[in-house]
Amino acid sequence: MAMPNKKGWLAILFILACLAIPFGITYYVSTDTFKAKFSRWRGPMPQAPEGATLEGSRTIDGRVTLVKGERIRIENTSLVFNGLDNGDALLDLFLEELDPSHAYAQSFSRDIGRDQVVRFGDVAYRVIGVSRNALILEIYKHMGAQ
């Protein structure tokens, strides 16, 4: 078998270096030493305020912002906005007191007027805005027993 010439050895060393460098970096990043240095460099992670919830951040002054795919609990129901389909807004309604794991499919026209009300569970809403990724509702009336 013939030995590679000088250019052949350089090509072999170049390929080995190209393979060794990423593996070396990957190994170093996975060590506890690097993780400790990185956590000191990053500093303390900010913590959420005491009692902060997703529901509190999405419900402001009686308006509820539903982001596509997020489940938001309002009173004894939970809503999940699933987007738009042929001009209809699609939602999943979860009745928490009945069965919190079963979704009831709901829909209404995207072009619903502001004077019309939609009801999900024990809460009636006015539709403020509908887009492909978000739905903004205003709580109109609580229908449940007080």
pLDDT digits (tens, 9 = 90+) for 38-91: 888 877 766 655 554 555 556 777 788 888 888 888 888 889 999 898 888 999
DSSP letter for each residue of 8-68: HHHHHHHHHHHHHHHHHHHHHHTSHHHHHHHHHHH-PPPPPPTT--HHHHHEETTEEEEET
